[in-house]
Structure 1
Amino acid sequence: MFPYEVVSKFTETELHLYRYIMDNPEKVMYMRVRELADETHVSAASIVRFTRKLGYDGFSEFKVQLKQASKEKGKKKTADTIEVLEEFFERTLRRDYDEILDKAVDVIDDAQLVVFVGIGTSGILAEYGSRFFSNLQKRTFYIKDPFYPNAAQQFDNAVMVILSVSGETPQVIIQAQNMKQYGSKIISITNSSKNTLAGLSDINIPYYVTQEMIHETNITTQIPVLFLLEAMAKKTYNRHQI
């Protein structure tokens, strides 16, 4: 109902209305335009302009959509994590994950430095991956700042492990392009193999779990990513323990 592109252009009055509606949706959906005007000290005309800016014919249509959004919000439930993981591990056992991981380990083992990259939740996992590999005696670095400058120029003989659920985050793709430009290898871990980042990668490891969105936020489970990071780290370490 409230696209970021529209909200970012709201005036102070419109932001005031937006905040009031977000704080009181159950109340607003049963108000008349004059009642909302009195409650927010905003003119009725401003409220109508506000709703039209959002793409509605007027306040009445806006209220209908507000009620619908409230119903959908109430019905929305998250997926059972155990079921999602059981599905992932069942597929993992059936697929040639060992072969893919071995190829990734070949690249990691030859590199002097492993650079982990991610943004948001993936950034936290990038930091975790860096620490886990370091615990197993591999030189690492992590980047979770999407605007980290010219990463590839600063790392010699490095491989970049990029974490991204969608594989379409612009800043992450720029980092991958920088790395490729300077001759470094790219290993990506994404939720599918059909995305821009996977296409840029030397090795892509997809985990294929059901994507979940709550309130426009991606809450897709990242436990498979932890599994893949730890599996790669242990395989890399074990190669030198024979």
Structure 2
Amino acid sequence: MFLPEQISKLNELESLVFDFIVKSPEQVQQMTIRDLASKVHVSTSTIVRLCTKLGFEGWADLKFYLKSQEREKTPEEQHYDNMLEFNMFLRRMNTEAYQARLNQAAKMIAQADYTVFLGLGTSGSLSEYATKYFVNTGLRSFVISDPFQAVQVRGMGTVVAVILSVSGETEQVVKKELEFKAGGAKIISITNHEDCTVAKLSDLNLSYHLINEWSKQYPLGNLTTQLPVLAILEILSHKSIDLLTEKS
């Protein structure tokens, strides 16, 4: 599914390409990027920019997505469409660009004396899980689960705060992030999209770009899958301890 906020960022030529893709997805699946460029009379670079704005790594990534949407879904996929989105995330995570960001985040953690996790709600539960996972890996970590708990960073050495937030706009989380920044901590944010306050305030953002899902029974219940967050956290712990092991 293409998100409204992504589509709104398309320029005139990109919108022309997007319109053709939406109207003729089966035809597009059989085309090369040059075929499509010739068909809609644009440059291949325009199509590459379109793919990036829609959250894909490139033309092949977009074609894979179109193919996954066309095939007949299993009952499990019909019940939980976010599995397809998670599959797309795993493909993006394995790209060179995303791995470079993971490596950069792992280097920040490996160079720190402590890693502090922060999140509220489901993100708070994941922060507690991450703390246990990091400690079990051999990394000094703790969690702030109370949004009213004071942040004490100064005098603790080098601190990296890993902030988890689906929306990246929760007021209490933003306030805590500002406290961390004021205390001199480095900040890694993990959010659904990079165009949010938490991501913009952080030193490094890792986003996963999944469709927001809400409870049908409880309108405020955010059911957006957190599987990408678990994957990111576990990979970061292994990459970080590997860097420390190499150093020692």
TM over 0.5, yes or no?
Answer: yes
Which band: TM-score by shorter chain?
0.5 to 0.7
Q: 1:151 touches 1:175 (CA, 8 Å); kept in 2?
A: no
Residues 104 and 203, structure 1, Cα contact 8 Å, conserved in 2: yes
Partner residue in 1 for 2:45: none
Note if 1:236 corresponds to 2:240: yes
> Which residue of the partner structure matches residue 126 of structure 1?
127
In 2: Cα distance, 1:147 partner to 1:109 partner: 28
1:185 paired residue number: 186
Is residue 189–residue 206 contact of structure 2 (8 Å, CA) maintained in 1?
A: yes
Uncovered stretches (5+) of structure 2, i.e. residues with no partner: 1-77
Contact 1:78/1:212, CA 8 A, preserved across alignment: no
Corresponding residue for residue 207 of structure 1: 208
Aligned positions of 1:27-42 closer than 5 A: none
201-210 or 92-101, which deviates more? 92-101
- Output the TM-score relative to the length of structure 2: 0.63
Aligned residue number for residue 138 of structure 2: 137
Q: How big is each residue's C-alpha offset from its partner over 1:95-114, in whole Å with a ceiling of 9 and x where there is no partner?
A: 61110011111111111010
Divergent runs of 4+, >6 A: none
- What's 1:105 paired with? 106
* TM-aligned CA distance change 1:227 to 1:150, over 3 Å: same
Q: Are 1:226 and 2:230 matched, yes or no?
A: yes
TM-score by length of 1: 0.65
**Separation in structure 1 between the aligned mates of residue 99 and residue 147 of structure 2, nearest angstrom:** 31
Helix, strand or coil at the partner of 1:142: strand
Q: Report the Cα offset of residue 90 of structure 1.
A: 2.1
How many residues are treated as equivalent by the alignment? 166
Partner of 1:10: none
Cα drift, residue 93 of structure 1:
2.7
User: What is aligned with 1:198?
Assistant: 199
Give secondary structure in 2 for the equivalent of 1:205. Answer: strand
**Aligned twin of 2:59:** none
Structure 2 CA distance for partners of 1:80 and 1:198, relative to 1, 3 Å: same
Q: Percent identity, aligned pairs only? A: 39
**In 2, are the aligned partners of 1:115 and 1:160 still within 8 Å (CA)?**
yes
Question: Quick one: distance in 2 between partners of 1:126 and 1:154?
Answer: 23
In 1, the alpha carbon distance for the partners of 2:96 and 2:176 equals 29
